[in-house]
Amino acid sequence: MRACLKVVTIVTLLLTVFACGKKSETVFLEKDGTLYEVADQVSFYYPKDFKMDTSVENKAIVQFVREQEVMSYQTIIDDTDNEIDDMPELYAGQLEEDGAIDVGYKNLKIDSGLNCQEFTGTYQSTGIKFKHLVYFTANSEYVLSYQAPQKVYDDEISIISQYLNSLKVHKEE
C-alpha cells in the first residue's frame, strides 16, 4: 500500500513538472525581440519574428503581425475631464461596445515601474482573444495589445506578456 502511494505521488509530481514546462519560458527581450521607439516618448519590444504591417489605414496605430497574431501600439489623446481612476472602467466599457465579451481588467505594475491596467477578453463575432496593457495619464492612454485566435493565444500569451510588460513611457503627452 505504501509503495503504491509513493509511486502515485512521484508520478503526479512528474506530470505536474512536465505540464508546467512551457509556461515558464523566459524571453530575453534584447536578444529575442526588436526594440520599437515612438520618437523619444515611448518604447517597447516585440518578437523578432513579427513583421511590421505598413498597410494599416490608421497611421496612429503601429501593428506587428505573425500569421494570425497581431501586436499593436497606439497613443490615444484624452481631452475629456474624466478622472484617471474612472478610466479603466470606461475603457472596459468601450471594449464591450466594440463587441468584446468576458472583459476583465486588473492593476499591474510592470517591469518599467508603470502602474498599468491589463484588459482581457474575446471578440464575440470572431472568437479572437486579446490582452491590452494600458497606461492611463490625465491626457493620454498608452495601449500595447496582443490578439490571436483562442488556441494560438493560449499557447503564446505567457511569452507575449513579457513583451507587453516591456512598455516604457519616457515622456507623457
β-bridge mates for residue 149, sequence order: 128
Which CATH number do you get for residue 150? 3.40.1000.10
Strand order in the sheet with 140-149: 51-52, 61-66, 69-77, 140-149, 128-136, 115-123, 100-109
Percent share of the chain, pLDDT over 90:
69
- Residue 166 CB coordination number (10 Å): 21
Which range marks the domain in which residue 73 is found? 24-169
Count of domains observed in the chain: 1
| Cα-to-chain-centroid distance, residue 41 | 20
Predicted pLDDT of residue 103: 97
Is residue 137 one of the residues assigned to a domain?
A: yes
Predicted pLDDT of residue 22: 46
Return phi, psi of residue 69, to 5°: -100, 145
Is residue 16 one of the residues assigned to a domain?
A: no
Is residue 13 one of the residues assigned to a domain?
A: no
Predicted pLDDT of residue 18: 46
Predicted pLDDT of residue 26: 84
Series of mean pLDDT values for 10-residue runs along the chain (173 residues): 47 43 70 92 96 88 96 93 93 96 96 95 97 96 98 97 96 73
Rounded Cα distance, 122 and 150, in Å: 9
Tens of pLDDT, residue by residue over 130-171, are 999 999 999 999 999 999 999 999 999 999 999 999 999 997
Predicted pLDDT of residue 173: 66
